[in-house]
């Protein structure tokens, strides 16, 4: 396990990090939904900002793919921190980072590494990949989120915490765990999460509506940049949209089509 070592990016101060974190919070307040394109390298980050987006998120899956690594914590936390640094440095907007289940690190180490890389927001999920993919209990995950909130406060940077649950992916009948998922998400909010992220319900309008109506914080839903549309998510009251691995997948499809005619 890493030991905490409070560092900031060489071209940023603690005050600048705090300003970016407050900007990210303000963007969530001003946009329903706030769309955070999911990027994985400096090129994709610059492209999204040049297209007019005011904040970004770095996805663990596309970042791993871009580096020839496996998702589900196939990289060490130190490797992730070092990979995130040039992405954040390439743009001048707030960047959130998907930190999976925490890479076996304490909340303090996780926040220190995030801030060292220049990130001011994070995703944290309840699937513990290093322990056979088990799902954290409600209280265990809430305690981890509470630790992240305390660490961010101690650092003086109001890091935006997006608390994720994978519960819907553990059953075939996703509606059957709706109440349990909402309770789990609500507990994360009580622990200090600023938004919540129930994955794998992005195709189900009824489930999205039910989760959104039950919570008082922005609900993050995954979108496919081609197959889905912003108006649908706005109509459902979604507070935040990210693409997960689906933007990279859509670009893969486009590239495959573009180069297919060039095969000898």
Inter-residue contact 195 to 162 (CB < 8 Å):
yes
How would you classify the pairing of strands 121-124 and 56-58?
unpaired
Residue with tokens 């946009």: 31
pLDDT at 6: 53
Helical (H) or strand (E) element with 128? strand 127-128
For residues 71-100, give the mean pLDDT. 98
pLDDT band at 2 (very low <50, low <70, confident <90, very high): very low
Assign 163 to helix, strand or coil.
strand
Residue with tokens 């622990």: 191
Assign 167 to helix, strand or coil.
helix
Cα(19)–Cα(94) distance, rounded to whole angstroms? Answer: 9
Inter-residue contact 207 to 201 (CB < 8 Å):
yes
For residue 227, give every residue at least 6 positions away whose Cβ sits within 8 Å of its Cβ, in sequence order, or none.
none
Domain boundaries, the chain: 14-241
- Kindly report, residue by residue over 160-218, the tens digit of the pLDDT: 999 999 999 999 999 999 999 999 999 999 999 999 999 999 999 999 999 999 999 99
| Fold of domain 14-241 | TIM Barrel (3.20.20)
Q: Does the predicted TM-score (pTM) go above 0.75?
A: yes
Q: How many CA atoms lie within 13 A of 119 on its CB side?
A: 28
- Kindly report, residue by residue over 143-157, the tens digit of the pLDDT: 999 999 999 999 999
Where does the chain have alpha helices with state H? 14-30, 42-50, 60-66, 77-89, 107-117, 138-155, 178-191, 205-214, 230-235, 246-260
- Kindly report, residue by residue over 206-258, the tens digit of the pLDDT: 999 999 999 999 999 999 999 999 999 999 999 999 999 999 999 999 999 99
For residue 204, give every residue at least 6 positions away whose Cβ sits within 8 Å of its Cβ, in sequence order, or none.
174
Inter-residue contact 241 to 230 (CB < 8 Å):
yes
Q: How remote is the C-alpha of 17 from its chain's centroid?
A: 18
- Residue whose C-alpha is closest to residue 243's, from 67, 26, 21, 40: 40
Q: Is the dihedral of CA 215, 231, 28, 159 positive or negative?
A: positive
pLDDT at 3: 40
The tokens describing 54, both together, are 């005011």
Inter-residue contact 133 to 169 (CB < 8 Å):
no
């Amino acid at each position: 396990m890493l030991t905490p070592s409070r560092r900031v990016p060489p071209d940023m101060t603690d005050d600048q990090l705090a300003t970016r974190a407050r900007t990210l919070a303000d963007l969530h307040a001003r946009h329903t939904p706030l769309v955070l394109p999911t990027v994985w390298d400096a090129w994709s980050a610059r492209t999204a900002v040049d297209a007019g987006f005011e904040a970004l998120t770095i996805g663990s899956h596309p970042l791993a793919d871009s580096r020839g690594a496996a998702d589900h914590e196939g990289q060490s936390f130190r490797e992730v921190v070092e990979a995130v640094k040039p992405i954040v440095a390439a743009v001048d907007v707030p960047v959130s980072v998907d930190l999976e289940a925490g890479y076996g690190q304490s909340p303090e180490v996780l926040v220190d590494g995030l801030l060292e890389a220049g990130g001011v927001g994070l995703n944290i999920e309840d699937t513990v990949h290093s322990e056979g993919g088990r799902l954290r209990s409600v209280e265990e995950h809430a305690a981890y989120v509470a630790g992240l909130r305390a660490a961010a406060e101690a650092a003086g940077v109001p890091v935006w915490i997006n608390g994720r649950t994978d519960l819907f992916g553990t059953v075939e009948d996703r509606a059957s765990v709706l109440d349990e998922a909402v309770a789990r998400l609500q507990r994360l909010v009580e622990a200090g999460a600023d938004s919540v992220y129930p994955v794998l319900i992005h195709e189900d309008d009824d489930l999205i509506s039910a989760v959104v109506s039950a919570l008082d914080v922005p609900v993050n839903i995954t979108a496919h940049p081609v197959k889905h549309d912003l108006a649908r998510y706005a109509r459902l009251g979604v507070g935040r949209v990210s693409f997960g691995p689906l933007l990279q997948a859509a670009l893969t499809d486009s590239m495959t089509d573009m180069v297919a005619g060039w095969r000898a």
